[in-house]
Structure 1
Amino acid sequence: MPAYATNETDTISAALGAMGPGSPSAAVATKLLELFTEGSIASGTRLPPERQLAATLAVGRSAVREALAALEILGVVDVRPGSGTYLRGNASELLPQTLSWGMMLNKSRTAELAEVRGALEIYAARLATERMPPAAIARLHGHLEKMRLSASDLSAFVEADLQFHLELAQSTDNTVLLDLLQSIRSLLRVWSDRSVQDDEHARLAIVEHAAVYEAIAAGDSEAAATAMVTHMRTASARLAGPTEPPATGPLGN
């Protein structure tokens, strides 16, 4: 186990203070960010270990672990296995606009962000249908096939799902739209990676992706947008919380 400089960990612990039992991971992330953006912790500082942060904040280690994972996705900290967790930037570098978006994200803000993502994905499907070259359509089909082959391997399924949506976004030839979708997807990934409950959910999600692909392959931008509307509606429902697969339509991711 790596040694931690006592003065650094004591300084961070003293600055944080207790939050009270039951505080959620989003609140832990917000508390840490408040400390980091004050500028009192230097870039490159190694944070206290999870157990010390949990004791200081009076929360469970799982809340600390999820908060650090969220902050790593945002690029705020760098988690190095076997070494520790380090603050990546200085105070001015930790104030991009994305950090005001709910700080990895409570349920209400997650739902709002999912709505924004849905609108952008629908527009991307329409635009990609008009602009996607044959080679990109073939790659999109390949991502769909990987999803089908990975229905019982949820980790591989989630990655193939990501590549499917990334292919669509890249095919819009709109870098702003691509950047927005990638940023939102990253913010939601803490939740969406856990939204596929089992291989039945994955199988049903494939049906929706296939409908999007078939519309794009046929060059029908209206049908592609309509298929994505259905997909985003059920994807948002799944992000809202664990549910049983609906009887009337598949869940998406």
Structure 2
Amino acid sequence: MTAAPARAWRLVLERIERDLLEGRFVPGDRLPPERELAAQLGVGRSSVREALRVLEVMGLIRTGTGSGPSSGAIIVATPQGGMSALLRLQVAAHGFPLDDVVRTRLVLESAVVTALAADPDRSTVDARVIVDAMDAGDLTPAEFLALDAQLHLALAEASGNVVIAAMMAGLRTSIESYVLAGAARIPEWDVTSARLRHEHRALLDIIDAGDSVRAGALIHDHISGYYAEAGLARELTPEE
């Protein structure tokens, strides 16, 4: 007897989750063919395909056609893609208020720069390359903000915490359109972008000096100040 179609695809997800937790699958492994999964779980192949589409959107697998080494459903575990998709949809549907997204960014990025400043083996080399690229005089606001997102993500990745890096990438991606729209409301973008570049360099210098307290305070003012100036969220106090 096959499972009810409305729930059948969930059985596939639960089976794959259990196999991952118990170590039967690891990144790089190929999932069994659709026909085999369907037979094992007593569901239709359409339910298996639906489950695989969900897993692909979540960033847990990639799928390929044909019969070569890249064919089939392969576990890749790329959480940034799935996190970005989830957060983008929740923000678009007003499930996550923008103010809460900003507060979460403050918590995560404060943790990132504090940890980096305290780490004697820290490296801000990649971040400085991006800061240098932001000095180009012909950048549009969209190009500048894309580099800005790369900079903040580079710091998260430098901290070594892959969960924070994935969450930050997802949060920033989820509000890309809001951030760009906010830039259009800033009357003197050249002045604002110059200030942001100055704050970026100051932040990296403070991190390299090992001053965790000042790094945390500056990243808070940097993020909350921009969102307030762009009219995206109310100005947040240090306690928030």
Q: CA deviation at 1:103?
A: 3.9
Task: Give CA deviations for 1:121-161 in whole Å, capped at 9, x if unaligned.
Answer: 11111112233746x31221121111122575323211221
Q: Which runs of 5+ in 2 are unaligned?
A: 1-48, 51-56, 60-81, 235-240
Q: CA deviation at 1:174?
A: 1.0
Partner Cα distance (2:197, 2:138) in 1: 8
- Asked whether 1:200 is paired with 2:191, we answer yes
**Structure 2 letter corresponding to 1:207:** H
Partner Cα distance (1:127, 1:218) in 2: 13
- The change in CA–CA distance for 1:126 and 1:105 in structure 2 (over 3 A counts) is farther
Q: How many residues align?
A: 155
- Asked whether 1:153 is paired with 2:153, we answer no
3-state SS of 1:219 partner: coil
C-alpha contact 2:87 2:174 (8 A) present in aligned 1: no
C-alpha contact 1:191 1:239 (8 A) present in aligned 2: no
Q: CA deviation at 1:222?
A: 1.5
**Structure 1 letter corresponding to 2:198:** V
- The change in CA–CA distance for 1:100 and 1:195 in structure 2 (over 3 A counts) is closer
Partner Cα distance (1:174, 1:108) in 2: 23
Q: Which residue of 1 aligns with 2:216?
A: 225
Task: Give CA deviations for 1:138-189 in whole Å, capped at 9, x if unaligned.
Answer: 2211211111225753232112211210111001111111111111111111
Q: Which residue of 1 aligns with 2:204?
A: 213
Structure number with greater Rg is 2
**Structure 2 letter corresponding to 1:168:** L
Q: Which residue of 1 aligns with 2:170?
A: 183
- The change in CA–CA distance for 1:124 and 1:151 in structure 2 (over 3 A counts) is farther
C-alpha contact 2:157 2:165 (8 A) present in aligned 1: yes
Partner Cα distance (1:214, 1:118) in 2: 19
C-alpha contact 2:87 2:171 (8 A) present in aligned 1: no
**Structure 1 letter corresponding to 2:142:** S
C-alpha contact 1:131 1:173 (8 A) present in aligned 2: no
C-alpha contact 1:126 1:224 (8 A) present in aligned 2: yes
TM-score, length of structure 2 as denominator length: 0.54
* Counterparts of residues 74-89 of structure 1 (less than 5 Å): none
Q: Which runs of 5+ in 1 are unaligned?
A: 1-41, 44-72, 76-94, 244-253
Q: Which residue of 2 aligns with 1:98?
A: 86
**Structure 2 letter corresponding to 1:129:** A
Q: Which residue of 2 aligns with 1:141?
A: 128
Aligned-residue CA RMSD in angstroms? 3.6
C-alpha contact 1:152 1:199 (8 A) present in aligned 2: no
Q: Which residue of 2 aligns with 1:129?
A: 117
Q: CA deviation at 1:105?
A: 5.4
C-alpha contact 2:102 2:224 (8 A) present in aligned 1: no
Aligned identity (percent) is 18
